Amino acid sequence: MTSKTKLKNLVSKINPRSFISDYLIALGVPESEIDDYICPVNVQYQSPWDYPNMKLACKTVNQIISNPESSIGVLVDSDLDGCMSATAIVQFLKSISVNPKIFFHPNKAHGLTTYNIDEIENANLNLLIIPDAGSNDTQYCSRLTSHGTKILILDHHEITKPNPNAVIINPHMDKAHLNTKLSGAGVTSKFVDAYCEMYGLNPVYTKDLVACSIISDVCDVTVLENRKYIYDGLSRVENPFLKFLFDKAKEATPHAVGWTIAPKINALFRVESDIATVFEGFINPSAIESAYKECNRAYNASRKITNEITKDPIIDEQKNCAISFVENENASFTGLLANRILDATKKPTFVLRDKDDRVYTGSMRSPIEFASILNSSRLCRAEGHEKASGIVIEKKNYDAFLKWLDAQNFDLEPTEDIAGQLSPRNINLFLCEQIESNKQLWANQIPEPRFSTTLRVKNTDVALFKKTSTTFKVEKNGVAFIKFQLKEDEVQKIESTKRLKIDVIFTLGINRYNGTETPQGMIQEWTIDEDDGEDMF
């Protein structure tokens, strides 16, 4: 937050009684669904039979596995959704005593690629199942089917071309009726549910896997069915490795998925790692310890590289952007570095690498909606989200691109969405309890509510606890405001300024101490100024 940051209040007046509903509606949950959204126990899942090809998919798989000689393969995609959907399908296959051959990507990739097609082709499979990818891999699919391999695709990505040789289950085949915001693991679980129903088998529980995948794939959680999966899946975690990971995170919440589980699994695809060992942990309880060890090793290795490349990056800061280059070997870190440079410069950031003779490629991160603006220049291609995308710039256009950027006049001051303004005297324990007991709601498009206020305090009222890092604490109207890990200049500013005016953005929680509960504001961002008494009233 800078002193110029524009704040947008999502809720104009914070009323503790209706706050949760008001906030959810402001973020896009339809008003008519709000009660079901908050408590989705009575919400019905969409029937798997609404998906085109479902019967054909079940029959195809049934026919192949009825022959004990059949060889079946599963391709694991390179992220947490890929792992969750492959786990769902393997759990199901194992429940009917089928042991598939598992294929992994040699790099961070999706679906059938030039890097894995030969290995898969040489395996002479009767059936290849591709969860979480593959819808548009037409060429490689026909290459495999020409040798007699049947292909089942359980995907959730947009369909851009016909792929007549594979059996495809994908909500985009019927956008009007199906949940196109479901994850790959969600689509896979639909197939597993359908198969078990069709052949009278005991259901195989996969909702825990789906819940994690919806969060890690940043699927739209304002969709009621996705909310239902998260609610059911996180309330009943059965996969032993997931249970183990949630225990380590000390809570089965979206926060634990986003901040503990997904980073550990996704790190496997950034650095050299033994993905097979980790995947084994999801399908074989006796492999959990070694899987966890490998996750941590990859996570630490990934953090080490992140620290190295983000330590002193060479940044070319221009009027409307910041640019940095990395080596090709660090291709999977361009997004992380771009985030750091954006934090530091507050400008649209490009982290590029010299891909080949023709193009620069990399990541774009921006404080404002930017991808469409970039594409309108026709001098580059930005694909992904407006504020975070991949970018490709042809080398012959590079100078023209920079010139074009320089000639634009952007308003680069971002708007930050917050729940609303909330002064300390309007904070009560009830509101804090509402927010804390609904932790399961805070995911993806519905972040934990943040509020803003201005604290006017004397520095003698502020407590600074100095240990390995400094913690700030001040009380106002019975609410303790705390901030962790102060920077040295912040400590100096507070110590040298008698009367402080601190603009804060904070989240709410409860402080439990000696059996009493008091409201607590956790400061996320602040600007510290001297209080000159202006605009006091």
How deeply is 418 buried, as exposed, middle or buried, from its count of CB atoms within 10 A (0-12, 13-18, 19+)? buried
Distance separating alpha carbons of residues 367 and 412, to the nearest angstrom = 7
Contact flag: residue 81 with Mn ion (CB under 5 A): yes
Distance separating alpha carbons of residues 3 and 12, to the nearest angstrom = 21
User: Are the C-beta atoms of residues 455 and 500 closer than 8 Å to each other?
Assistant: yes
With respect to Mn ion, which residue has the nearer C-beta, 38 or 218? 218
With respect to Mn ion, which residue has the nearer C-beta, 81 or 137? 81
How near is the Cβ of 26 to Mn ion at its closest, in Å? 28
- Strand pairing category for 349-354 and 359-365: antiparallel
Distance separating alpha carbons of residues 184 and 321, to the nearest angstrom = 35
With respect to Mn ion, which residue has the nearer C-beta, 189 or 453? 189
x-or-dash string of contact with Mn ion, 369-408, rule CB under 5 A:
----------------------------------------
User: Are the C-beta atoms of residues 54 and 169 closer than 8 Å to each other?
Assistant: yes
With respect to Mn ion, which residue has the nearer C-beta, 132 or 225? 132
How deeply is 372 buried, as exposed, middle or buried, from its count of CB atoms within 10 A (0-12, 13-18, 19+)? exposed
Buried b vs exposed e over 163-185: b needs ≥16 C-beta within 10 Å? Answer: bebbbbbbbebeeeebbbbbbbb
C-beta neighbour count of 47 within 10 angstroms: 12
| Tokens read off for 518 | 């008091």
Stretch that binds Mn ion, among 184-192, 231-239, 293-301, 357-365 (CB under 5 A): 184-192
How near is the Cβ of 189 to Mn ion at its closest, in Å? 13
With respect to Mn ion, which residue has the nearer C-beta, 183 or 349? 183
Stretch that binds Mn ion, among 80-88, 121-129, 307-315, 397-405 (CB under 5 A): 80-88
x-or-dash string of contact with Mn ion, 27-66, rule CB under 5 A:
----------------------------------------
Distance separating alpha carbons of residues 227 and 214, to the nearest angstrom = 9
Contact flag: residue 22 with Mn ion (CB under 5 A): no
Residue 381 phi, psi (nearest 5): -130, 120
Contact flag: residue 155 with Mn ion (CB under 5 A): no
With respect to Mn ion, which residue has the nearer C-beta, 116 or 434? 116
Contact flag: residue 217 with Mn ion (CB under 5 A): yes
Question: Interface residues for Mn ion in 113-132 (CB under 5 A)?
Answer: 132
How near is the Cβ of 502 to Mn ion at its closest, in Å? 42
With respect to Mn ion, which residue has the nearer C-beta, 136 or 520? 136
Contact flag: residue 184 with Mn ion (CB under 5 A): yes
Q: 79, 60, 82, 194: which is closest to 127 by C-alpha?
A: 60
With respect to Mn ion, which residue has the nearer C-beta, 82 or 449? 82
Stretch that binds Mn ion, among 178-186, 243-251, 300-308, 416-424 (CB under 5 A): 178-186
**Interface residue list for Mn ion (CB under 5 A):** 81, 132, 184, 217
